[in-house]
Structure 1
Amino acid sequence: MSTRPTARFTLRPLPHAIALLAAISQAPLVAAADTDGETVTLDAVTVTATRREETLQSVPVAVSVVDGEQLERDNRSGVAGLAQQVPTLNFRTNASNKDTALFIRGVGTISTSPGVEPTVATVVDGVVLARPGQATLELLDPERVEVLRGPQGTLFGKNASAGVINIVTRQPPAETRGYVQQDWYQGNESRTRFGIGGTLVPGVLRGSLTTLVSSYDGNVDNQSNGHEVNGYNHRGARGKLEFTPNDDLTVTLAADYLQAHDDIPNGVVAKTLDASFANALAPVSASDHNRDIVSDYRSRVEDANKGVSAQVDYRLGDFTLTSITAWRGWDNTQWQDGDRLGTISAAFPGIEDKGDLAFDQYSQELRLASPKGGFVEYVAGAYYMHGHDDETYRRNLRSPTSLQTGVADYGTRSDSSALFGETTLNFTERLRGIAGLRYTHDYLSYDHRRTSTSPVAVNGIQPSTASSGSVDEDGWSGRLGVQYDLTDDLMAYLTYSRGYKGPAYNVFFNMQPRDTDPLKPETSNTWELGLKATAWNGRLTANGALFHSTYDNYQANFFDTVASQVVTRLINAGSVTSEGAEFDLALQATRALKLSAALAYTHARIDSFSCPSGAAASCNVNGKTLPFAPDWKSYVRADYSVPLGNGLDLELATDYSWQSEVQYDLSQNPDTKQGAYGIWNASLAVADYDAGWRVALIGKNLADKSYSPLLASGSGYIYRQVPRDDSRYFGVQLRKDF
């Protein structure tokens, strides 16, 4: 099966979607006020998806918005937690954040190579994070998180071929205020947040500071030494200064630092494929819900992520000129037990890995935004990013009689320059046209040197080698579309987007001569039809989108073996298709009750796979699902507030996320499938907002469902990563505002 589904599949549900959203938008204005006569509406959601502040219901982009305060209350402290709340988003975890990846609509890049850019870009206050691992630690002081689906290169500085995670942090307040929040959870998990902000110089300077201290013992036991692992220790701070010397100029300076010490094991064995490995694993028994390891080498990560940025907004009459200058640094050291055993033998030698990474990026963006309200509105800009990566990876192979060692020093240099812009043509009050274009020039170089104590390949170590190379590519991407207000409360849009992702190199410890050629740029074509409806005097919003995306020269990882050790190879995997439908709903049913729901159907499949020469895994994958792409995902939530008198409020909240079966391996290993599962959470809180305090009891995974966010192949076994909520747990959250 190598044919691509036609557009007819995508457009078939269109009449039903139009009828549903049109009915919602034209529904009678019943229950427009609460029982006491007070008008009740949903809070307006502001987004910057079009690089301007606009309401969510007016932008012709499929975007989900998660409130930062809600994330903090729900103990979803990182980008990974968003995947439960946003059905179109998926997250690949691993022992080190260096090896993580984000997926939107089933499309993402899994790679440890520094020579590949992420398919899903992460942006924090306008600054693009060049490497996926920079984005997966704690969120500091988020105001909101916007998840934009589909190519976004015509508006965001760095090219984003599958989507953007746009994180907007809070601005310093005008009035001095602060808070302290303390969370305790079972398993000796603690999270302390402190924030303060206000005016430093009246009318001229505001500032804010947020700090974080968090720790967790873990939920995995090492039977080899009795230690508890899979925990963390995090420390961080974010500060902002907002300088407004006059009405036309605003300068925002931001700095952040986050230090992490994680002892996440390099996989927990979920299934053994031969009896000898099962015997070596004793006393641990492999199972789908195993949370025990037996390890003689401590897997852990030390990570430091930091950055500074300066954003200048200058009004030139009715125009706004924006400059964002930023530097970010990232240092990561990981130790991993590659054999996942506590003993060394001739059959199962010990594999001890240590990797050091030092990464710096510098970026500059200039953007000009025209005034709104005219026939032509536009945002145009220029962007430049330089990335500099240096890594050292060392592997020790221990047997009862010998020690073999391999050490690789490698790095990349990248420069990306772009001109981009998008125009909206207001043909009438209801009809608008959209046109965007981006030109990108990418330069990427690498060097790699590996030394080995063995002249031939041994378990997981290739012989000594050295290579270097460079590549230049020019790419075009863009967007065309039309937007039409069917009624005052129902908007429809149809867009075509061309996505582009630059060239890549597969640079890693066991790099071989076959890996020295650059990967071709990845390109995509996306059609999207969206409807956004508002009804019941602003109490109900419902948004839907149908999409059809095809990707050529898809950059993906494929499992292989090197001297009996499982490794991954980054390749141009061929062509893939992702298509489906998405639906989001929010309802302020009464002043006390708010309901929300989201549903995504994503049919992400491999059309034609380009099998690499010498592949050890099966290449018979045409028509099969893309990894980390469940067909169905959903999320429902209810929030209910009851006044108790004397200024007290009782707040009840519950949410449930569910997803269908998911395959984690591009080669379609039947043992790396996670079956369908759902996670149910709930909380109960009492608050006095006049006095500035809130106390909450939080329950996670109340149905006690064990699941695996990653299943992968080892040599003779399948291992899994264990999530924090792999079993039911409870916690208490205290907050005091002042």
Structure 2
Amino acid sequence: MNRTTKWLVSSATLALTIACAPAALAQAAAGQSAVATTPTADPSTTSPVTSQQAVTEDPGDIIVTAQRRSESVMKVPVSVTVVGAETLTKNGINDLRAVSKLAPSLQPGQDNQFSIRGIGTATFADTVEASVTQVIDDVALGSRYFASAGFYDIERVEVLNGPQGLLFGKNASAGVVNITTAAPRIGEASLSVDLEGTSRARDGSDGLGILVRGTANLPVGDDSALRINAIYSSQDAITQLRSTGTGRAENDVGQRAFRAKFLTKPTDNLSIYLIGDYGKFTGISGTFDFTYRSLGGTSQYPAILAGAGVTPSARNLSSVVDSEYYRDLETGGIQGKVAYAFDSGVEVSNIAAWKTYSLGQNFDSDFTPVDFFNVNRSTSSYDQFSNELRVTLPAENRLTGQFGLYYFYSRNNFTNERAGSSGLPGFVTGGFPFCVGATPAAGPPPACNVSNRAFLGQDSAGRNTNESFAGFGQFTYALSDTLKVIAGGRVTRDKVTLDLIENVNPYFVTLGVPGNRFSGSDSNTNFSWKLGLDWQPTPTTLVYGFYGHGYKGPGFSNASPAPGADLGVSPEISKGGEVGLKQALFDRRVNLSVSAFYTRFENLQVQAFDAALQTIVLQNAAQATTKGIDFSAQARVAKGLTLSASGTLLDAKYDSYPGRQCYPGQTTPSCAINGTFDVSGRQVPQSARFTGVLSADYEVPLTSDLRGTMGGNFYHRSPLLSEYAPGATIPSWNTFDGNIGVRGDQWNLSLFCKNCFNEVRPVSIEVEAGDGINAGALTYIQRWSYDSVRTIGLRLGLQI
């Protein structure tokens, strides 16, 4: 099906959603209000909204916590996209990566990395935190691996655009993804189960998946409730992976997790909220789904891949490996929040949390049935503790706001090993002079006096800690009934440490510094701040603007480029602001929003491949600027029918970055003699110039107790730069998602598709390092996610 046809079909489907509401449209045309007779929806059932949007009969009643207190989304002077529980379920949005199809400013990257407005921390190193912070139930998470969890019992997801570290605990120099799960409901006994079966398009045979989610809400006396959630998921891999080796080869993904929540309100003023969770995840699909996209002219792989039945292409979903391929991740945690509201309206709360994960993984990083670089193994054991004391002033006061104290400590013990034979057969590498796996023997050559672990390799083990203290406050003062001034600040004291041992194992060729040791610490104190105005000339109009400085703490690279090298990475500083307008029209049936933003980042933390070490090193990229416009519109054109549009127009460029690693075959003068080139003035990777979403949702009564539902989302993303090599740009992406179903009072059944026309796109396109180093070839590999291909599914929900 050609592109024009797909656009026509997508447009026709959206038009059909509108056309299926003749009675409602006629009623609206006759001037009869469809608003007054429809109750306001609960926030947990809203559709995706951007700043002012929400699919409900009164969008002004949608409550968010974008500023760490409950407020109407229409009154929040920041740019935020909100996706509610019903929209997540209806559209088959089962993890954070998939949320990006409904939030234009959010872009997924590799290995649970995300960017907002073009800025993120794209690194494999666990020794630095992300610029986009994930917050779940008011707890900031210090590692990207917590983003692996699938969604279950989610009330809403908020994507906060731009620097947000003032109120959200840790870093967040680019933005925040704020996830709120459903709290226990006192006095309610209920049980719900969601069943979902899917089929995904792939070569040979489609991949199947099953997902089961369950929630039980149990009253405990008159003032308490217990809520228990569980999820089971088993998903066939996106790629067809065939292993010719021995050991584990686990491509398919499994998830088993549960969460228990207890809420008690012994008095009208006091509440205690406890949460415990555990999750286990297996399989590499969606994380390390690599296939060959194209081979360079001097590549060493054509005959090998052809013999294995692999044909590199932009739609290649097949791979063959000869080493272990697995990923095991366990996560868990407990947290507790105590809140007391005084009669004066002042609330004091304290939330303490402990989170942990353990990870073990390996993948064949040459993606062939020959041992070029078979070992890419890593383990990590991480835990964090945080505590936040917060005082919130009454919202109705002339002076309102919040202030508090924050503490965070994390510890990560990790190991890494990367090794291979560079394509040499075992009978060659086992003898002199390579001596791989040889039994050491005394004597002159050809006796092997050493037993090397591999022909070439690198290993490391280390411990990284991160400790942070902060005092913060943000206040709003009403200068008049319509004009408010906003002022906030945060003083942060960070201390990070790294103890690292590298290359203690013997290799014929050691990648890096043999027997290297590094022990270091770094500390930094920063004051970040925000000043702004909030003007509401009418109850349905908000004009706002602010300027401030954001902050992301220091860290370390986890690989030494030379003996005695300083591995420290400087703090990342953001300076910028935003002006915006939120406007409700026609009795709040039409909502419009636009915001313009400008942020400059200093010492942006990025990674680059070091060809001499054949590994990734972390560094600061000097300066980058992101600027653009977020916009959205929503119209409830008739009872049950909502149309919406949102988008981000973005210009994200490096102001100064002279040391980017050259790609294979890059010639002088652009590539300097030290193997780097200057990308100043060029687009930042993972930043699409335009991303937009068009949506239509319709619900119509079929009988007195039966309703029909249908909806569609059209998503467009302009070409996305993965790397600066000429073939590493992902083409523009146009996808259509649709759903149709029926629902009763205690059940619902729906058929849905995602990426309905199978517009196959990878998450990233990367230069294959081995071919570049050994053969000077510019060969590309690509990484896939579950949204890369078409998914068709059937969902059944039951509520008791």
1:587–1:594 CA contact under 8 A, matched in 2: yes
1:42–1:588 CA contact under 8 A, matched in 2: no
SS at match of 2:237: coil
Out of 133, 148, 151, the position equivalent to 2:145 is 133
1:62–1:545 CA contact under 8 A, matched in 2: yes
CA deviations 1:472-506 (Å, max 9, x no partner) are 11111010001111322111001002111111100
Shift, 1:529, TM fit: 0.3
1:698 correspondence with 2:711: no
CA deviations 1:409-439 (Å, max 9, x no partner) are 1120110110010010111110000000000
Q: Please name the residue that 2:498 is paired with.
A: 446
Shift, 1:385, TM fit: 0.4
1:281 correspondence with 2:305: yes
Counterparts of 1:214 and 1:392 in 2: how far apart (Å)? 29
Q: What TM-score do the two structures reach when normalised by structure 2?
A: 0.83
Counterparts of 1:319 and 1:233 in 2: how far apart (Å)? 45
Shift, 1:127, TM fit: 0.5
Shift, 1:219, TM fit: 2.6
Counterparts of 2:63 and 2:69 in 1: how far apart (Å)? 10
CA deviations 1:74-129 (Å, max 9, x no partner) are 221111111111001111133xxxxx311111011112222212111111111110
1:679 correspondence with 2:699: no
Shift, 1:266, TM fit: 5.2
Q: Please name the residue that 1:218 is paired with.
A: 237
1:685–1:695 CA contact under 8 A, matched in 2: yes
Out of 338, 343, 347, the position equivalent to 1:312 is 338
Gaps of 5+ in 1: 1-28, 95-99
Counterparts of 2:37 and 2:271 in 1: how far apart (Å)? 38
Question: In the TM superposition, what are the counterparts of 1:227-266 in structure 2 within 5 Å?
Answer: 230-264=251-285, 265=288
Out of 534, 537, 556, the position equivalent to 1:486 is 537
SS at match of 2:99: helix
SS at match of 1:628: coil
1:362 correspondence with 2:398: no
Counterparts of 1:464 and 1:223 in 2: how far apart (Å)? 36
Counterparts of 1:168 and 1:643 in 2: how far apart (Å)? 31
Counterparts of 1:241 and 1:31 in 2: how far apart (Å)? 50
CA deviations 1:692-718 (Å, max 9, x no partner) are 011111112111211011111112221
1:107 correspondence with 2:134: no
1:465–1:512 CA contact under 8 A, matched in 2: no
**Bigger shift: residues 656-665 or 217-226:** 217-226
SS at match of 1:188: strand
CA deviations 1:578-616 (Å, max 9, x no partner) are 000001222222112111221100100011114279996
1:116 correspondence with 2:168: no
1:392 correspondence with 2:415: yes
SS at match of 1:80: helix
1:469 correspondence with 2:513: no
Indicate the percent of aligned positions where both proteins have the same amino acid: 26
2:244–2:369 CA contact under 8 A, matched in 1: no
CA deviations 1:341-362 (Å, max 9, x no partner) are 1023xxxx34212211100000
CA deviations 1:346-382 (Å, max 9, x no partner) are xxx3421221110000000000011122221120011
Shift, 1:54, TM fit: 0.5
1:722 correspondence with 2:722: no
1:591 correspondence with 2:615: no
Q: Please name the residue that 2:88 is paired with.
A: 71
Question: Structure 1: which amino acid aligns with 2:226?
Answer: G
Counterparts of 2:562 and 2:236 in 1: how far apart (Å)? 39
Cα RMSD (Å) of the superposition? 2.2
Q: Please name the residue that 1:209 is paired with.
A: 228
CA deviations 1:290-341 (Å, max 9, x no partner) are 0000111232210011111000111233210010000000111111102211
Instruction: Evaluate the alpha carbon distance shift between residue 655 and residue 515 of structure 1 in structure 2; reply closer, same or farther with a 3 A threshold.
Output: farther
Q: Please name the residue that 1:339 is paired with.
A: 366
1:223–1:284 CA contact under 8 A, matched in 2: no
Question: In the TM superposition, what are the counterparts of 1:561-572 in structure 2 within 5 Å?
Answer: 561-563=611-613, 565=614, 567-572=615-620
Counterparts of 1:338 and 1:183 in 2: how far apart (Å)? 33
2:646–2:693 CA contact under 8 A, matched in 1: yes
Hey, which bits of structure 1, 4+ residues long, moved more than 3 A? 29-40, 223-230, 452-458, 510-515, 612-618
Q: Please name the residue that 1:522 is paired with.
A: 572
SS at match of 2:784: coil
2:250–2:325 CA contact under 8 A, matched in 1: no
Q: Please name the residue that 2:14 is paired with.
A: none
Shift, 1:539, TM fit: 1.5
Q: Please name the residue that 1:377 is paired with.
A: 400
Counterparts of 2:588 and 2:119 in 1: how far apart (Å)? 34
SS at match of 1:279: helix
Q: Please name the residue that 1:9 is paired with.
A: none
2:405–2:471 CA contact under 8 A, matched in 1: yes
More strand, by proportion: 1
Gaps of 5+ in 2: 1-27, 40-56, 200-206, 430-435, 437-453, 662-671, 772-778
Q: Please name the residue that 2:204 is paired with.
A: none
**Bigger shift: residues 83-92 or 156-165:** 156-165
Question: Structure 2: which amino acid aligns with 1:156?
Answer: F
Q: What TM-score do the two structures reach when normalised by structure 1?
A: 0.90
SS at match of 1:294: strand
**Bigger shift: residues 445-454 or 613-622:** 613-622
Instruction: Evaluate the alpha carbon distance shift between residue 593 and residue 229 of structure 1 in structure 2; reply closer, same or farther with a 3 A threshold.
Output: farther
1:711–1:718 CA contact under 8 A, matched in 2: yes
Counterparts of 1:723 and 1:130 in 2: how far apart (Å)? 23
* Equivalent pairs, count: 692
Shift, 1:554, TM fit: 1.1
SS at match of 1:281: helix
Counterparts of 1:555 and 1:547 in 2: how far apart (Å)? 21
Counterparts of 1:87 and 1:33 in 2: how far apart (Å)? 34
Shift, 1:644, TM fit: 1.3
Q: Please name the residue that 1:544 is paired with.
A: 594
CA deviations 1:44-101 (Å, max 9, x no partner) are 311111221110010111111011221122221111111111001111133xxxxx31
Question: In the TM superposition, what are the counterparts of 1:287-326 in structure 2 within 5 Å?
Answer: 287-317=313-343, 318-326=345-353
1:506–1:515 CA contact under 8 A, matched in 2: no
SS at match of 2:93: coil
